[in-house]
């Protein structure tokens, strides 16, 4: 069994992994930049080591991170999500240095990180894919010719992309010509490679993904699906499990597709198969994420499976604890990404000191956070500072629990997406379970909200006044 894990990440996911280690009796090691010296994951881990003054580069230096894992006596490394989590070089370096990488093999990461290679693997496995190019485009003329063949609109994508970056929708030849060089440039800057490919645009699809687990003994199971259709500019905002939009027949079908896809590439550890569901109820493979997902919490809530602990068990060489028949789901779960952003001003990042923070509680409420009262949110990283996950037996019940928990959650000092989510929960289309990836775009009126004066501020002002009076 693994005895000590270096967590090659920061923020709430680092805290989440440290907590899993603690429950399993495993020592945890955190890394941090100067900007993160007061971060919560540093305080929670058993050990913590500084990785330099640059706020980002330290988290991206695979050789230094693995060297630190070896020097601190770690026998495993967990990459979390983002940063180097889908970098095959990190997995290769871990293998050379005798450190267990808590994730799939470098070969699988490389194959599924290349969108063209992934498409080819899925086609070979009999998984439906969106019509498009079967190789990297060599010129804009080739892109134009293919677009004429499959029809507009089309999606121009970075082959090695992820996280919603390096993607442009083109509704005409003129737009395709204008966007081609832009996407090539974005792909080069963001992912270090200029390769791009083309797919038919699925208009206003539902974004459905399936969580899978595979071990070293050939066992692969799914943990049902998540609905990630509520998103803005390809960035997820709210995630739901299971999808309120699927029938049981569709649920079983997509689960089997995901297991089939994972088996086809020899997948080991936790991963996610992402699909698009069109207006004709046709599923199409979109991509595979070879890492832990931000939204794994909703799957844990409905199945009771601790996905991070399962990752560690699998990396330790143990078989899955569950067969497919052992895994059931109960109720609905919903996760809100609490971003330090101002929705009223085009979701502009709002970094700074958290002057007061209250985490919600009560039945069916879970908070994964990287913040605390007095913490200064640095401007160098993603704006997500917390995740709120709620669970209830019914769809109407989880909506109301989400509404209540969002009202209970208080973050002062910075703007957040909390009031925007409260508006979404009141929308009739959302409440009826009728939404797709165009929901945010179709409902610009949701940003027109008023933030009520928090009762806690009034109470604090009264308390301060009383204290001042008593001090006279």
Tokens of 319: 């078989």
Rounded distance, CA 38 to CA 377, Å? 10
Rounded distance, CA 314 to CA 336, Å? 29
Rounded distance, CA 59 to CA 31, Å? 8
Q: Give the residue among 137, 155, 144 at the shortest CA–CA distance from 193.
A: 137
Q: Among all chains, which residue has been given the structure tokens 């029809």?
A: 151
> In 10 A of CB 35, how many CB atoms?
18
CA 163 to chain centre: 8
Beta bridge partners of 357: 411
Rounded distance, CA 152 to CA 168, Å? 13
How is 67-117 classified by DSSP, letter by letter?
A: HHHHHTT-SEEE--SSTTTT-HHHHHHHHHHT-EESSS-HHHHHHHHSHHH
Between the alpha carbon of residue 146 and those of residues 130, 178, 196, the distances in Å are 13, 16, 13
Residue 214 · residue 296 · CB < 8 Å? no
Residue 285 · residue 273 · CB < 8 Å? yes
Rounded distance, CA 146 to CA 180, Å? 13
Rounded distance, CA 273 to CA 284, Å? 11
DSSP 253: H
Between the alpha carbon of residue 150 and those of residues 123, 220, 256, 403, the distances in Å are 17, 35, 28, 43
The Cα angle at residue 190 between residues 123 and 91, in degrees rounded to 5: 65
Q: Give the residue among 211, 161, 209, 216 at the shortest CA–CA distance from 184.
A: 161
Q: Give the residue among 156, 161, 77 at the shortest CA–CA distance from 114.
A: 161
Residues annotated catalytic, as ranges = 291
Rounded distance, CA 293 to CA 105, Å? 17
């Amino acid at each position: 069994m693994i005895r000590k894990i270096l967590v090659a990440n920061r923020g709430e996911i680092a805290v989440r992994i440290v907590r899993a280690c603690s429950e399993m009796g495993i020592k945890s090691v955190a890394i941090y930049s100067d900007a993160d010296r007061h971060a919560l994951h540093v305080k929670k881990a058993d050990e913590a080591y500084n990785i330099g003054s640059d706020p980002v580069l330290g988290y991206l230096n695979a050789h230094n991170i693995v060297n630190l894992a070896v020097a601190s006596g770690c026998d495993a490394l967990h990459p979390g999500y983002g940063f180097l989590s889908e970098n095959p070089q990190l997995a290769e370096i871990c293998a050379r240095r005798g450190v267990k990488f808590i994730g799939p093999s470098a070969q699988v990461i490389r194959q599924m990180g290349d969108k063209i290679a992934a498409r080819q693997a899925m086609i070979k496995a009999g998984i439906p894919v969106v019509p498009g190019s079967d190789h990297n485009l060599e010129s804009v003329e080739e892109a134009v010719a293919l677009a004429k063949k499959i029809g507009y609109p089309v999606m121009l994508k970075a082959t090695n992309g992820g996280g919603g970056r390096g993607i442009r929708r083109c509704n005409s030849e003129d737009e395709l010509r204008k966007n081609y060089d832009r996407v090539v440039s974005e792909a080069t800057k963001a992912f270090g490679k200029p390769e791009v490919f083309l797919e038919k645009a699925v208009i206003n699809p539902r974004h459905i993904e399936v969580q899978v687990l595979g071990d070293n003994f050939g066992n692969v199971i799914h943990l049902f699906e998540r609905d990630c259709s509520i998103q803005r500019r390809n960035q997820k905002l709210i995630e739901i499990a299971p999808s309120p939009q699927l029938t049981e027949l569709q649920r079983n079908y997509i689960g089997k597709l995901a297991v089939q896809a994972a088996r086809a590439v020899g997948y080991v550890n936790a991963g996610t198969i992402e699909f698009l569901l069109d207006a004709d109820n046709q599923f199409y493979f979109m991509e595979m994420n070879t890492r832990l997902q931000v939204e794994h919490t909703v799957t844990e809530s409905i199945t009771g499976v601790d996905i991070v602990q399962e990752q560690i068990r699998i990396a330790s060489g143990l078989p899955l604890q569950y067969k497919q028949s052992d895994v059931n789901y109960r109720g609905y779960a919903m996760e809100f990404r609490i971003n330090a952003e101002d929705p009223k001003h085009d979701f502009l990042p709002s970094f700074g000191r958290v002057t007061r923070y209250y985490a919600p509680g009560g039945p069916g409420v879970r908070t994964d956070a990287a913040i605390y009262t007095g913490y200064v949110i640095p401007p160098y990283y993603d704006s997500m500072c917390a995740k709120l996950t709620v669970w209830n037996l019914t769809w109407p019940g989880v909506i109301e629990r989400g509404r209540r928990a969002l009202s209970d959650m208080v973050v002062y000092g910075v703007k957040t997406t909390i009031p925007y989510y409260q508006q979404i929960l009141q929308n009739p289309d959302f409440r009826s379970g009728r939404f797709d990836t165009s929901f945010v775009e179709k409902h610009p009126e949701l940003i027109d909200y008023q933030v009520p004066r928090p009762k806690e501020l009034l109470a604090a002002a009264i308390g301060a006044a009383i204290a001042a009076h008593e001090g006279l």
